[in-house]
A and B are shown apart, each in its own frame.
Chain A
Amino acid sequence: MLELAIGIILGCCALGAGAAMIAGIGPGIGEGNAVAKACEAIGRQPESIGPVRTTMLMGCAVAETTGLYALVIAILLLTWAPGHLVDVFMSAIG
């Protein structure tokens, strides 16, 4: 019974980490849009490639943030959470 409970905890941690990374879709679409528009802008005005590139990288970095939040949560779920949750569980059942 105990093994089953601990197994469920570990499995749910892994599932949660996988589910958290669904958030990667958002930054992917956002950065794709940003780069597409930057390409358009460079195509229209090739002389402005320097500022456009800088602004695009900045925008990409800011758009990436939500994805990184998800990544941090996924890494926590994979590395720190299982041991902690199992400890909590063990202390709860005594």
Chain B
Amino acid sequence: MEGGKAEKAMSNKSAGRFKIIDILLLAGVLLPLAAGILIKVLFIPAPEGIEISGAAIFFTIPLPLGGLPITESQVNSWIVIISALFMCLYITHGIRARVRTKRALVAEWIIEKTENLVLSNMGEYFAGFAPFICAMLALSGLSSLSTLIGLYPPTSDLNIVAGWAILVFILITYYKMKCGPIEYLKSFAQPVPLLAPLNVISEVATPISMAFRHYGNVLSGAVISLLLATALRGLSSLVLGGLPGILGDIPLFQVGIPAVLSIYFDIFSGCLQAFIFAMLTMLYVSGAFPIDTYRKRKEKKKIKKEKAKTVNGGN
């Protein structure tokens, strides 16, 4: 009897601690978002009328080569990163083998889906890319979805997306270089050396088009939503403007109609662009790696090594 009681108390205590950590992790998810909204309310003046402006600059850090401006999009992308980190910790908190909880199933589903996606698009050799692709999907998707709570979406700033695209470009170049720099330079002279300049241009165009695609899609959605909201305001003031007093200010058409557009531009387009960015990353990186040449090279090196060994052994 005594033992059972003690055990119960112990399990109660551990359950209490589990819940406390859970609440802390949830606070870690929600607090950065709240802080983002607070920063926006406190430091950024509300625009008057329609205004298509970039990210607001909070302050500039003086550096030898020009100042480094800290903008709204940088702050918001760090907010999204911290929030996503705590989300991951919350989902994986308390996972144990053979105990199936809802969270464990969600985590399993995410891992399984991304691993399948990477395996089917990149092949066995790149199986280790799954966490990177998953992180990219989450960061891009959550950044675009952060418009839903009124934050400035970091993906509608070219600087942020260009950073990701440059990262992908470095990966592509790394995998092209894997067979040696000579092979890499030779690949520009395909199929005829005359086309080398065009090949260089198309190589450079890859990150540019990736960055512009993502940023242009999110930004165009924001611009169109803004234009529609302004047009609806004008329409409702045209229809109801003649009425006296407070009746003239009723936002008749602004209610509901922009939300329909928001479903497409913010939710669907944001998630689709995240998926497309990750997909293009996978296709470019796996397409840049000449796996047959790499294997042949490796085998040749192996044979050479063995030959050298036998020669040395003979001596």
Contacts and interface: CB of A to CB of B under 8 A. Distances in A.
Interface string A56-84: 01100100110011011001001100000
B212 interface: yes
Interface string B59-87: 00000000000000000000000000000
A72 B220 CA distance: 9
Provide the main secondary structure of the chain B interface: helix
A69 B219 contact: no
B216 A72 contact: yes
Contact of B276 (A61, A71, A75, A78): A61
A75 to B, nearest CB: 7
Count class of interface residues, chain A = 10 to 19
B275 A57 contact: yes
Contacts of A78: 52
Interface in A18-63: 54, 57-58, 61
Interface in B249-280: 272-273, 275-276, 279-280
B275 A65 contact: no
Given A61-B276, A69-B216, A72-B216, 14 more contacts: A57-B272, A57-B275, A58-B280, A61-B280, A64-B213, A65-B209, A65-B212, A68-B216, A71-B216, A71-B219, A71-B220, A72-B215, A79-B52, A79-B53
A69 B212 contact: yes
Contact of B279 (A58, A72, A75): A58
Interface of A: 54, 57-58, 61, 64-65, 68-69, 71-72, 75, 78-79
A69 B220 CA distance: 11
B52 A68 contact: no
Contacts of B52: 75, 78-79
A79 B222 CA distance: 14
22 contacts: A57-B272, A57-B275, A57-B276, A58-B276, A58-B280, A61-B272, A61-B273, A61-B276, A65-B212, A68-B212, A68-B213, A68-B216, A68-B217, A68-B220, A69-B212, A71-B216, A71-B219, A72-B212, A72-B215, A75-B52, A75-B219, A79-B53
Contacts, number: 36
A54 B121 CA distance: 12
B49 to A, nearest CB: 15
Contacts of B273: 61
**Nearest 4 A/B pairs, CB to CB:** A68-B216, A61-B276, A65-B209, A71-B216
Nearest to B219: A75
Interface in B200-224: 209, 212-213, 215-217, 219-220, 223
Nearest to B283: A58
Interface in B175-231: 209, 212-213, 215-217, 219-220, 223
Contacts of A57: 272, 275-276
Contacts of A69: 212, 216
Contacts of B213: 61, 64-65, 68
B168 to A, nearest CB: 15
A57 to B, nearest CB: 7
B94 to A, nearest CB: 34
A71 B52 CA distance: 14
